[in-house]
Amino acid sequence: MTARTVIRNEWRLLMADRPLRIALGLFALLLVYALANGVVWTRFQERTVEVAQIGNVERAQALVRELADIENGAEPASRFSDPRLPNVLGGARGRHTAVLTPGPLTALAVGQSDLLPYYYDVNIYTNESSFHQNGEVESPLNLMVGRFDLAFVVVYLLPLLVLALSFNVLSEEREQGTLALTLSQPVSARGIVAAKLAFRALLVVGMVLTVSLAGILVAGDLGDPGRVLLWCAAVVAYALFWFVLAAWVNSLRRSSAWNATVLVGAWLVLVVVLPAAINIAAGLLHPLPSRVQMVTAQREASNEAVNQRSELLARYLEDHPEMAEGVVADEPGLGALAWAATDAVNRRLEEVTAEHDARRAEQIALVRRYRFLSPALLAQEVLIDAAGTGDARFAAFQSQVRVFAERWREFFVPAILASEQMNAGVLSDVPRFRLADEASADVVRRAGVPLAVLIGLLGLVGAGAGVGLGRVRGAD
């Protein structure tokens, strides 16, 4: 009896089983629905990104026109919004929206992209508190529940289908009395279970990967093979984990009912209870530092800075000799004085925030260690990281915006300090934000760790199943 025979028979049997047929059909439907959802969300974000980028161009064009008019003798609308002033041109009027394009596979996993901001307006006043933003407009209720995307179907529902397909893969043969007969042929229990599960795995994984690839074709980026491979590897490893778990439980030679109970229990513990317990433990052992205290600290920092306004400019120029060119130290302009105060506030904010962020990073590093206990958390992490909707990509974007804001200030502040006026000519030199998106290799390197652990868990359970099945005899 070859694997082919087993697989052919299995196909007939599966198709004869109506509830299973329904379950498979339902699963396919949910996959397609989840993908459609993800595609709608990707399109929404793409549109927003486009509007933001058009806004950048339109603002710049309007300023060029206005500056040209003023050069030709027109009066500026107000002396406070005169675009020749560097604090206006580099301020809210001339701001530049720095944009994070949707992750290459957002259609497959919404991840954190509905919660974290994916664009920031940058101007000379951008500071640490500018990063406190809410992100996309979304009802808190919807954020709390989360999206029905492919990642959700894979992490939560796929294991249930796998278990429904394989909880009685061996026990049923025994209960029907066919096991002894089958094993009298020149095959091992291991071989039979492997063939049966391989067939089922091919079916389930095939469905998920087909829909995933369709999604990538419709709304993703096939040009990023690293991410696509990561996604596929995570799906395969996670699905196989549940298959070998079922095989292992079957190798214990208990009844189908017992297998079902234990496997549902395992799903509950690994997918629902363990992540929750991990988070509670993490929250108790490593509480995140409070943002509320940070708000108070920031406020105090800026109060302090404003109160010392008079001494600030001298200190600022000491710290930034490169900005001092053209500033007459004896009679600084109002703009220079105001800027010195702004800068002092920013520096204090940075200190307070850096302290907070360092503590937060420490806690999160501790929290992240625990995820190795749950295959569901590992799979989720790899899936959203592959999609480009994980925490790391958003954090990287934020740091790039920080650097960009610094460049922006370096462009405009010398003119503020020197009380210079700007003209349309400088607009072509104004810094533009270019996203240096993480390379495929970086993502693979980062997500490789949880993926390797997931594969390790798979190997461990697989070995257990192999050993257990090796002991199964027809006479059981």
Partner 1 sequence: MTSHGIRHIVRKEFTDVLRDGRFRWCSVLVGALLLVSLGHGWVQAREAQREHAAAQSTAREHWETQGEKNPHSAAHYGIYAFKPRLALSFVDEGVDPYTGTSVWLEAHRQNDFLLRPAQDATAAQRVGALTAAQVLQHLVPLLIILLTFGALAGERERGTLRQLLATGVGRRDLALGKALGIAGALALLLVPAAAVGAAALVVGSPGPAASPVARAAVLAVVYLVYFAAFVALSLAVSAWARSTRTALVILLGVWVVNGLVAPRVAVDLSKWLHPTPSALEFARTVEREMASGTEDIIPPDRDALAERLMAQYGVERVEDLPINDVGAYLQESEEFGNRIFDRNYGALWDTFERQGVVHELVAVAAPLLAVRALSMGLAGTDVEQHRHFASAAETYRRDLMRRMNGDLTENSRSGDFSYQAGSELWESTPPLRYDAPTLGWVLGNRILSLVVLGGWLAGTILIAARRVRRAEVA
Contact positions with partner 1 (CB under 8 A) in 7-66: 19, 30, 37, 44, 47-48, 51-52, 55
CA 422 – CA 19 distance, rounded (Å): 74
SS (H, E, C) 385-444: HHHCCCHHHHHHHHHHHHHHHHHHHHHHHHHHHCCCCCCHHHHHHCCCCCCCCCCHHHHH
Restricting to residues 277-296, name those near partner 1 by CB under 8 A.
277-280, 282-284, 288, 290-293, 295-296
Q: Are 155 and 380 in contact (CB under 8 A)?
A: yes
Based on CB atoms, which residue is closest to partner 1, 185 or 303?
303
Give the phi and the psi of residue 436 in degrees, each rounded to 5: -95, 85
Based on CB atoms, which residue is closest to partner 1, 377 or 415?
377
Restricting to residues 154-183, name those near partner 1 by CB under 8 A.
155-157, 160, 164
CA 70 – CA 128 distance, rounded (Å): 35
CA 164 – CA 153 distance, rounded (Å): 15
Give residues with Cβ within 8 angstroms of 360, minimum separation 6. 288, 289
Based on CB atoms, which residue is closest to partner 1, 19 or 321?
19
Restricting to residues 173-232, name those near partner 1 by CB under 8 A.
none
Among 73, 140, 186, 321, binds partner 1 (CB under 8 A): 140
Q: How far is the CB of 250 from partner 1 (least distance, A)?
A: 16
Q: Are 387 and 298 in contact (CB under 8 A)?
A: no
Binding status of residue 146 toward partner 1 by CB under 8 A: yes
Binding status of residue 256 toward partner 1 by CB under 8 A: yes
Binding status of residue 475 toward partner 1 by CB under 8 A: no
Q: How far is the CB of 285 from partner 1 (least distance, A)?
A: 11
Among 78, 139, 184, 428, binds partner 1 (CB under 8 A): 139
Total count of residues recorded for the chain: 476
Q: Which helix (H) or strand (E) holds 98?
A: strand 96-99
Binding status of residue 337 toward partner 1 by CB under 8 A: no
Binding status of residue 242 toward partner 1 by CB under 8 A: no
In b/e form, how buried is each residue of 158-167, taking b as 16+ CB within 10 angstroms?
A: bbbbbbbbbb
CA 89 – CA 216 distance, rounded (Å): 41
Among 68, 257, 285, 452, binds partner 1 (CB under 8 A): 257
Q: How far is the CB of 266 from partner 1 (least distance, A)?
A: 13
Among 1, 217, 268, 463, binds partner 1 (CB under 8 A): 268
Among 57, 144, 436, 441, binds partner 1 (CB under 8 A): 144
Based on CB atoms, which residue is closest to partner 1, 387 or 415?
387
Pairing of strands 119-122, 96-99: antiparallel
Q: Read out DSSP for 207-269?
A: HHHHHHHHHHHHHS-TT-HHHHHHHHHHHHHHHHHHHHHHHHHHHT---HHHHHHHHHHHHII
Based on CB atoms, which residue is closest to partner 1, 229 or 276?
276
Name the residue type at position 241: F
Q: Read out DSSP for 280-319?
A: HHHHHHSPPPPHHHHHHHHHHHHHHHHHTHHHHHHHHHHH
Tokens of 9: 């028979």
Binding status of residue 236 toward partner 1 by CB under 8 A: no
Among 275, 332, 388, 468, binds partner 1 (CB under 8 A): 275
Contact letters (x/-) for partner 1, 102-131, by CB under 8 A? ---------xx--xx--x------------
User: Which residue has 């498979």 as its token pair?
Assistant: 24
Among 299, 407, 445, 473, binds partner 1 (CB under 8 A): 299
Binding status of residue 272 toward partner 1 by CB under 8 A: yes
Distances, alpha carbon 22 to alpha carbons 204, 261, 470, in Å: 14, 21, 33
Binding status of residue 132 toward partner 1 by CB under 8 A: yes
Based on CB atoms, which residue is closest to partner 1, 160 or 324?
160
Based on CB atoms, which residue is closest to partner 1, 6 or 352?
352
Q: How far is the CB of 344 from partner 1 (least distance, A)?
A: 16
Q: How many residues bind partner 1 (CB under 8 A)?
A: 78
Q: Are 60 and 52 in contact (CB under 8 A)?
A: no
Binding status of residue 305 toward partner 1 by CB under 8 A: no
Q: How far is the CB of 320 from partner 1 (least distance, A)?
A: 27
Based on CB atoms, which residue is closest to partner 1, 77 or 202?
77
Restricting to residues 355-394, name those near partner 1 by CB under 8 A.
360, 364, 367-368, 371, 376-377, 380-381, 384, 390-391
Q: Are 69 and 75 in contact (CB under 8 A)?
A: no
